[in-house]
């Protein structure tokens, strides 16, 4: 059974909320707009960093990276809601 488009959209929204800016989802125009429209003192890039290492036979080697991503998303959300700062989250191993 396939997922309906609305179900996929809801799932994606839960993973990547609209109020958070993820580097991997931004085009060059969006990045330029961010730089041009955001005051210098509110420009911020968050880089989650977690070690890739073995955690025994039952946990992923990316466990620390997943925790780092969750913490970064929380920090970005709080910065946005409480201080009006909307950082870009540089969230991809491919980007590094």
Asked if residues 78 and 61 have their Cβ atoms less than 8 Å apart, the reply is: no
Residues for the chain: how many in total?
96
pLDDT at 95: 45
Tell me, rounded to whole angstroms, the distance of Cα 25 from its chain centroid: 9
Asked if residues 16 and 82 have their Cβ atoms less than 8 Å apart, the reply is: no
DSSP letter (8 states) at residue 54: -
For residue 9, count other CB atoms closer than 10 A to its CB.
Answer: 11
pLDDT at 12: 61
For the entire predicted model, the pTM comes to 0.75
Element (H, E) at 88: strand 88-89
For residue 93, count other CB atoms closer than 10 A to its CB.
Answer: 8
The parts of the chain modelled with pLDDT lower than 70 are 1-15, 92-96
DSSP letter (8 states) at residue 41: G
């Amino acid at each position: 059974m396939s997922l309906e488009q609305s179900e996929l959209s809801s799932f994606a929204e839960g993973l990547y909320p609209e109020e958070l800016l993820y580097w991997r989802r931004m085009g060059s125009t969006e990045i330029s707009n961010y730089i041009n429209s955001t005051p210098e003192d509110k420009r911020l890039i968050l880089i989650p960093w977690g070690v890739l290492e073995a955690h025994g036979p039952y946990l992923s080697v990316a466990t620390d990276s997943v925790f780092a991503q969750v913490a970064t998303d929380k920090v970005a959300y709080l910065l946005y809601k409480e201080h009006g700062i909307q950082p870009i989250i540089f969230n991809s191993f491919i980007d590094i």
